[in-house]
Structure 1
Amino acid sequence: MSHETGIPPDDDLKARIADCKSSENVRVMKIKIENEQMIHQKSCGPVSDFSGDFSLLDSIVDDSSPCYLMLRTDISNNYGFEWILITYVPVSSKTREKMLYSSTKPAIKREFGGNQLKTEYFATEKSDLTYDSFVLSQDRSEKPFTEQEIELAKVKEQERQAMRGLGEKVKLSSNISFPPTEAACDAISDFKSETTNFAQFVINGADEVIDSVTSQSGVTLDGVDGLVPRDRATYNLYRVPASAADGFINDNPVIFLHGISSSGSVKEKMLFSSCKSTFLQLLASDVIGLAIDRKVEVDVNDDNITQEFLLSEVKVKQAEIKKKFEKPKAPGRQRTNPRA
C-alpha cells in the first residue's frame, strides 16, 4: 500500500501538465515541492532525440536538492506521447525530504495519468541521470526506444490500455491508509533523528489525513501520561531515555502507544484501528527506517501511563530470559525391577 502526503499540484502545474501531454514542445519538466504544494520550476524543449536529450538533465537539477523530472520519450500511443517519471533525491537529502518525495509521488502519477506514464526511474546523484544508466536500470522487454521496438510497443500498448484503468481502481480501492500531512512528516523526521523523543498524531477524518499534534524533546517517563489526551484517540511515539534504567531490550527503546478513549465515537475507533497497521508500515519502511521496540494499546480512561508501566514494556522480562535459556529436562530412564 502506498502512503501519500496529500500534497497537491498547484493550478499552474496542472495546466502545464495538461498542455505538455499532447505537445512536442516540451522534452523535460522539473517539479518541486514547496509550501505544501507541487509546483512547476522549469521546462526545456527538445534539442536532440530522446537518448541525446538526457544530457539536459545535468544542468536542470541541483546537486543537493530533490525534485521530480518528467521526461518525454519519442514514443506515442493513442493518448499522446509517453513520459518517464524520474524521482531525483540526492543521498545528502534530509530524511524528511526523502520521505516527502517518496510519499508524494503517487499524487503526481495520478495527475499525469497512467495512460501516458511509461515507467519510473529513481536517481540519487547526477551520474545516474544519463541515458546509459537509465537503460541499465530497465528491463529490456519494457523499454522500446528503437524504431523496431516502437512498432512492437504500439501493438502491446493496445492490449495494455484496457487493463491500466482497472488496475488503478483496484490499487486505490485497497488503500485504506490516510496520508500524513507535511507537519506529520516533519514530526516523524525529527523523532527519527532524535531531535525529539515524543511525537503525537491524530486522524483528521474530514480531510482524511494523519496530522501532528505535538512534537517535544526531553519528555521524561512520568511526563508521558500528561501529554496523552483522555477525550480522543491518538498515536504516540516515545523514546525512553537510556539513563532511566538498566536491562532495556534496546538502547533508547521506542514505544508506539495507541491511546484509545472510551468516550470516543465508534467511527473514530474504527479509523484508528484501520489506519494503524499502514501507519506502522510507513514508519518501518526503507524511506524512514524507524525501529519500534514495543507496540502498546491502552484505554486512556482506565489506564495510567505511568513510569512503571512504560519501563515494564521495555525491560527484558526475567521470566522470558529464564524460559529462553532453561535447559530442557532429560528424558527419564525406566528403572528395572532387580527382583525380576
Structure 2
Amino acid sequence: MSSASGIGAAPELVECFAQAVTQNDLRVIKVSIKNEALVESGKWNKQGDFMSDYAHIVNYVEDNVPAYLLVRLDSASGSEWLSISYVPDNAKVRDKMLYASTQSALKKALGDYRFKDSIFATSKADLTTDGYEAHQRHVNAPKPLSAREEAMQSIRAAEKAAGLNKYQGAGERRSHAGSAPVGFKWTSEAEDAVKDLANREGCSKLVILSVNTRDESLVLKQSSRDVSPNQLASFIPSSEPTYTFYLWSRQRNGEDLNSISMWHLSTMTIPNLVLVFIYCCPSGSPVKHRMVYSSGVVSVVNAAKGMGVSVAKRSETSDPEDINEAFLQQELSNTPSGSSTPVSGERVAFAKPRGPPRRR
C-alpha cells in the first residue's frame, strides 16, 4: 500500500509483522524508509514487562535519523501494538517530510485495528518512561468542553443532585405549588407573591422571580404595588434573566374598553386589569443562565395557572429598557407597527389566487 509520498510497505515487512503477531516473544520492530520503501531495520525480543522494556526504547533510535517503532503492548490478546513515529527536530527536512506523510500508510499496510495507541516523538526525551506516562495522562484526561457543553454538564449535575435518575427529565420534578409537573422548585415566598396576583384589587402589582441555579429553585426577587408601565424598566435587572408577572391596572377610558374586548383574559373579572408575563434575558447573561431560564418559561406560566393565576399575554425581551406602556400595548394587541388587525368577529374575504393563463 502506497502513501501520499508514494512510499509503501515492502512485502518482507508485512510478513515480518504477521509472524510477530502470532509469536508472542517479540517486543519491538523498527521500521525505516530505504530505497523508497518501508522496511524492517531491527527487532528486539521481550526482556520483561512493557514498562521495563520501554525504558530501553531510546537506545533503538539515533539522534538525527527518523524511524518508526512498533511496540507490543502487554494485553490479554497479546496482539495490541503501540506505534511510535520518531522524527527528531534536527533531522533532514526531506526525511521529516517523508516520515510525517508515510506514517498512516504504514499502519494501514499492517492493519490499523492492531494499533491501540500512537506517539509522535521529536527527541529522545519523548521516548522515556516518564514521557510515556505523561502521554497516558494526556490521553486519559477529560476532553475540553465548549461553553454550551459545560452549561449542559452543570444542568445535568444539578438535576442529579435534585434526585433525578437518568430516565427522568426536568419536567418530572414536582413543586409544592400544585400537582402538575413543573421545571423548578418554588420557594414559599415566590409562590405566595404569585398567588396574591389572583386577588385583583384594582391596583397594579409587580412580581419578579429569579432562579437559584445551584439548586434550580424559583425565588422571589421583588414584589411591588402601584408600579406604572413606564416604571417597569427601573425594576427589572439588566444584568441577569428574570421572570416578571405584571398585573396592569389600565385606565377606564373609551378607547381601552373598546379594545380590551379583543383579548382573551380568561378568569379576569375586572375588565381593566391585564396580567402580563415578561421573560427578560439580557444578551450579556451567562450561557448557563440563558439555557436554564429559556427552558423554564412554559413551566413557570403553567405553574402560575395551577395557582389560579391566568396570564393574558406572554412576552419576551433582551433589554428592560424596551418595556413601557407602548411595549405592553403592542404585545397585548399583537399588532406589528404600521399594520392593522381586523376586529374580532369581522370576516375577511379570501382572495382566490389566479390560475395559469390559457393556452392559445
Give the TM-score normalised by the residue count of structure 2.
Answer: 0.37
Bigger relative contact order, structure 1 or 2 (CA pairs below 8 A, ≥6 apart): 1
Larger Rg: 2
TM-score between the two structures when normalised by the length of structure 1: 0.39
